[in-house]
Structure 1
Amino acid sequence: MKHLDLIPVANTCKKMLYKGCLLVGLVAACSLTACSDDDENSVAPVFPELQTISCNAGETKEFTFEANTNWSLASTELWCKFVKDDVESFVLSGKAGTQNITIRVTDEAATVDEASVAKLELTMGSQTIVIGEVTRSAKGSELKIYDMEGNELEALTVGYDDFEPFKVKANFHFAVTGTPNWVEVEGGSLVGVSNQEVTGGLRVIQDGTVEKYPVAATDNKMIVFSAEDGKASFSFPLIYAGMDPMDIDVTAPSANRYGWTVSMDGKSFAQEGGQGTSGGGSTYTNRIPFTVKVLNDDYEFVYLEEWEDVSGTKNISLIDPSMLWLHCEGEKGDISLRVDENEPQYAGVPAEERTGYVLAFSRAEYESIKENLEANIVENGDIKYAYQQSNLLIQITQKEQETTTGEQLVNSVTSGDGSTVIDFVAYTGENLSHYQSTYGVQSVTEINKPAMNTLITFAFEGVNIEAYDLSTEEPVEVGGFELSGNYVGVDASIVGKKDIFFVVTEWVEAGTPRKAMVIIHLSSVEDGGSEEPSEGVFSITNASTASSVACTEYAGPSLDWFKQNYGVESIWQVEKPTGNLDVALSTLGKTIASWDCYDFATESPISLTDEITDVNGDGSVINIWIGGAFVEHDVVFMVITDNSGVKYGLIVGTPAE
C-alpha cells in the first residue's frame, strides 16, 4: 500500500505536488506541537549530528536519531521516501526518544550525469535543521563486494589481529572514502579502476577499549566507496566479532608479576627490591592498579593462596569465599587490587604472613574450567604455566615490612632528561619529628647530590607543592618547580643553588591526603647529576650500555610534508640505530602518552607491538628493540604524543633522500 504515489509530468508540476504534500505534513506537525505546548515549552530541542547515507535506486536504508522532544522529519526529494508499516510518505512525526526510520530510494529522475542528494530536515520546536544527507548514485552505477571465494556480500567483516580480506569490483573508478575511526584499511587506502577486481582488508584499530566490543550489521557502522568523479557512492555495513572469547590481555604495574609484598594493614604495596634501597622501586599505597582486556568486559577473578602440609610441602588452593582477603574492584577493565588487614587470630600472638595469587579469566574461559576450577588451574602444587603467562595478575605476600620514612612515598629520582639515576635516602636526622609534626608529612626524603634539573617520582599524584629554605624554613617561590601527576621537576637554574625542602600534597577526592617532604641540597648541584638539560626534545640512550645515543633535528626535504600531514611540532632523527634504545622526553614532567609508527618511504601504518614497550608503564621511558618486525622497514617514522597532547616526529634510520 502506498500513502503517496506521484508520477511527475514535468519538473514544475512535480515540485508543486511535493510542496503541497510537504505543507500538509508540516501543518500536521505544527498542530501536534501546538497541542503539546503546555508539556513541551520548557524543553529546548537538542539536534543530533549530521549523518550521511549512500543509497542506490531500489535500496532501503535504516536511519536512526535521538529526539528530546516532539519532532517531524521531512525529505526534500520525491525519490527519497520514508516507510512505516508498509506506507510510504515524505514526512513523519513522533514523540521524544530514539527513532529508527526506514528510507527507501527510487529511480525517479535519476540520470547518468550526476549523483542526487536528498536532505532530511528535522523540526523540533520552532527550529529546523538538516540532520541527514542521502546520496543516490548516478543511474547505471554498480559496485559489488565479495569474499575471497567470490560470494557476493551484503556487509564487510573487520578483523582483530589480522586484516579480514575482501574483493570489490565496480563499473567506475572508485576509492574507499569513509570508515569509522576504529577501522584500519590495509595499506592505508583502497582504490580501484573500472571493471577490475581489487582486494582489500579491514582490521580494528586497537586502543585498549574499542576492540573489546562487537559490532553488528544493524549498528549502521558503514564503509563507503565513492566514484572518482563524484557520480556514485556505495555504503555497506561493517561487522566486527570482537576479541576471541577465550583471549585475555592483562596489563600490570610491572612486567614481573611475582615478588610483591603488602603490609599487615593492607596499605603499603611494594615489589621485592622496591623498599629499603636508595634507587627506589614500584610502590603503591592502598591499592595496585591493573587493566584487564576481554570481550565485552566480561571477566572473572580467581583467588588462591599458598599453604604447607605437615611435611612442609607447598600447596596452592582456592581461598574459601567466606575468608577472602584479596579483592579486585572496578569496571570496564580498570581494576584495583585491595588487601584486607591481616589481624591476629589470638591476643598477643602476631598474625602470620600469607601469600596469595590473583588470576583473571575471560567469561568463556572461566565457564570452560569452573566445574573443576582448582584442579584445572593448579598442577603439582603450582599454577599451570599457561595460566601464569596469560592469566596471572599478581603473586603477593602479606607480611611485616621494615620501612623507614620516605621509602614508600618517593619512587625514584633522576636527572631531568632521565639519563642519570640519582641516589636518595630516608631522612633520619634530628629534625625528623619536627618536620613530621609541623608540616604533617608521612615521609621525609633527602637528595644530597641532585642534578641541575632533577625529576622526582612519587607514589601518589600531587595536587599542591610548597617550598621552603632549609635553614630558615621561610617560604620559597615555586617558579622553579613543576608538578605534573606524580612527578615533580626542580630546576636549580631558577630556584638557585641553595638547600631547600618542599612538601607535596596528594590529590584525593575524599579523606585525608598524604604529604611527602623532600630535602634537596641544590648547593651541591655541581658535584653530581647532569650539569645542563638536554637541548633536544628526546633523550635517547642505549639500554644495554647506558651510553647516550645521538638524536639530531631532522632537516631533510620531507620536513614540511611530515609536519603538515602529521601535525608534529618538530622532527628528530636517530641515524644508525642498533640494539635496544630507551627513549624519553627531555622536558621536565613530560611523559609519552602514545605513539604511532609508519614506514618512512611508503607512509603505511605499521604495527610494532612486540618491538616497542612502555618500560615503567607510565610513559616515562619507552624501549625500542631494533629487531623483529622493526628491521623489515629500512626507516621508521614515529609520531610521539606527550601527556599534554603535543606531537613530535622521530625518524629511526637514515632516509634515502
Structure 2
Amino acid sequence: MKTTYTFTKLFLLVAIFFAAVSCSENEKEVVVEPEFPEEEVVSSVTPNGETVLTFSANMNWEVTSSAIWCKFANGSTSMKGEAGDISLSLTITEDAWSVEESVVEITLKMGSEEKVIAKYTRAGKAPVITNAEGEEYGEENPIALAYTNNGVSGSFSFIANYDWEIKNENLPEWLKISENNSQMGGNAGESVLVTFEVAKNFWANAQDGNVVIKAKKSDVSVSIPVSFSGIPEGVIAVDGINGTAFWWKISADGKNLWKDGAESEKLMFPLSFNAIAKDNAYTVVKIEEDGGFMWVNDESHSFLSVEDDNAGNVVLTAQENTTGKERLAYILVMPQKLFDEIKEKADANGGVYDNILLNSEGKDLIESKYDAYVALAFKQEGTSAAGGFKVLKYGYENIPCSLDKTSDMSRSIATEYGISPESIYSLSVESSVSLTINPLLSEWNYECMGQTASGNEMMIGNGIEPTELEGAPAVMVNSTETMYVIFISNDAQMKALIINVE
C-alpha cells in the first residue's frame, strides 16, 4: 500500500509540471506587438478650426501633441484610449500664434514604443504694420513725404505684429533713414517713430518706391509704398554752401573766400554748389558792382565767372580786384519763369533793372522780395595782394610785378621815403613802352622820379597823365630809362614801383 501511494504522488507531480509548461507556452502565444501607421500624415491647418486625426491601434494607446496650439477633444495636449479604429478631433487655437509658420507633431505610444504619426503646419498670421492710430499701411495709406522749408523729411510711427527692423539697403536709393533716428526696429506691438529723409540730389523730381520692413529672425516682410512729390514748382533750394548767403568775403586776388568774420576758415575758388528746382527749371543770375553801379548778367562788367550745366551743378570762379575799392556781387538762383518775367520788364525799360530787380536806381541792393533767392552775397577786398600793382602794356597786355626788397634802388627808396620793403615792387620792360599803372590804393596821389642807376634825375618820356584802368584811376608812363613811381594814399599808405628799362 505504501508503494502505490508513492507512485500516485509522483504521477501527480509530473502532471502538474506538464500542465505548468503547457500554460507557459499558451501565454507566449498571446503577446501583442504594437502596429503603427506605415506613413506620417502631413497637413496644413488654420487656427479656430478642427482637424480629425484617424488611426488604428491594436493595443491600448496614448497620443501627445508637441504644441500648445494643437489640443485634443479633452482640452489637453495628450489623450489615452483602448485598441480599435480611432478618430480624434484636434482643435487648432491661436495660442503663441505669430507671423512665422509652426509645426506640431502628434506622437502615438503603444506599449513601450512610440512614433510620430502626424505633422500639422500652422500658417503664420498675416504680417501687419499700422500707424499710431491703428491705420494699416498699404496702397490706401502709403508713406508720403513732401518738401518743406527745412528740406525733405518725415517721421512715421510703426506698430507691427512681429519683431522687425529697417535697413537702408531695403529702401529706394533716393530714401534714407535719418542719422538722428534712435531706433531702426522694434518688437511686436511696440510703437516706434522712424524719420526718413530724401537725398538732396533727388529733390528735383517726384519719386516712388517701397519700404521693406523685415522680420528680425525670418524671411517675413511687409512692403509699404513710399512716395515723394518732388520740390514744388517755383521753389528753389541750394545745396553745398556751408553757411547763410550773407555775407562772404573774396580776397582781392580772387583766389580765396570765407564767411565774413571767419578769416581762419578760408576756402579756395572754384566754388561748387547745387541748384535744385523742379525739372531743373532754374537760372543763375549775377549782379555785380562795377564803376559804382550794379550790373545784371553783364559780362563786360563782371568779375565772377559762372559755369552751369543746367542740371543743377554750378561752379563759380573770381577774378582779381583791380579797382582798389571793395565791390559787391550777388549770385541768385531763381525760378526760370520768374526771371523771364523780370527780364521782360527790364528789356521794356531799355535793359535797365532799376526798380525791377534792383532798387535805389541800381546803386544799392536788390529788391528785398528777391532776397530769398540769394545763394551768395559777396564783398571783394579792394587791394590786390597779387603783385601789388595792376600794370598794362599798351593798355591791354598784363605785365607781372614782383616784390623787390634787395636791389640798390629798392633799398634807396626804402631809406629815402620810409617805405616798407614789403610795399616796393618792380617790373622790367623794353625802352619806350607805354605803361598804364594802377597802384590798387584808394584815393591816391603820386610822385614820379626818373633816375639812372647813378642817381641822376631824368625827364620822363611823354610825361605822366591821369587815365583809367578798367574803371579805376591810373597813371600812364612812357620811359626810356629806369625810373620809379611813388604812390601815396590819403590814409598815408605808400607803395613804390620800379620800372627797369632794358
| TM-score normalized by the length of structure 1 | 0.30
Question: Using CA pairs below 8 Å that are at least 6 residues apart, which structure has the higher relative contact order?
Answer: 2
Considering only CA atoms, is the larger Rg found in Structure 1 or Structure 2? 2
